[in-house]
Amino acid sequence: ALNHPTWKMGQRITVDSATLMNKGFEIIEACRLFELPPMRVGVIVHPQSTIHSLVEFVDGSILAQLSVTDMRLPILYALSWPVRVESDLRFDLRELQRLDFSPPDLQKFPCLGLAYQAAEQGGCKTIALNASDEVAVEAFLGGNIRFDEIPAVISQVLCETGDRQPESISQVLSADAEARRHALELVRERAGVAAAPVH
């Protein structure tokens, strides 16, 4: 879970990549940015990590964004937007051997299904998804739960989280703190150890 085949990343994002939770967060992000229902935002497993996004138009044509697997490129664009500035990061199409695509297996990647569920239900569910994921991944990295227990913790927190829409930052922070407390209790039960309080 801590060795991504194509990207060099921090521990949490590496685990979230292994569970596909990172894609779940990107689904929620796309839904909010483009005002799309979750089922209109698809995920395709692409092991080469060469294509970073696809947009399908009404006529059926698809526009793909290809680049090297280096986060400096999207960071550069974010900092220089709307202008594109020169970069040494180059992608050589002649070295491209193949492009593989497959649909995600939601049995193998239950976190992705949980993200779709939270995005569909809305309200505090997406807050609880992020908070419980952070707690569960930290517990896994600390050796307190197994990798396959991450989605179980998140699922249980989501089941017990209401879908009310927060109306203020304080309500967002309160929902986040409540989800973290609950996730920490679940981790403690699974690990059989006392967990530190969440502040």
Tell me the per-residue pLDDT of 32-60, one tens digit each, with 9 for 90 and over.
Answer: 999 999 999 989 999 888 888 888 999 99
CA dihedral of residues 98, 101, 107, 109 (deg, nearest 10): 80
pLDDT tier, 117 (very low <50, low <70, confident <90, very high otherwise) = very high
pLDDT at 11: 86
Of 1-5, 19-23, 87-91, the one with minimum mean pLDDT is 1-5
The domains located in the chain, with CATH, are 11-95 (no CATH), 111-191 (1.10.1740.10)
Tell me the per-residue pLDDT of 126-143, one tens digit each, with 9 for 90 and over.
Answer: 999 999 999 999 999 999
Whether the model pTM is above 0.95: no
Beta strands, E only, 57-138? 62-66
Longest CA–CA span in the chain (Å) reads: 57
Beta strands, E only, the chain? 51-56, 62-66
Q: How many CB atoms lie within 10 A of CB 131?
A: 25
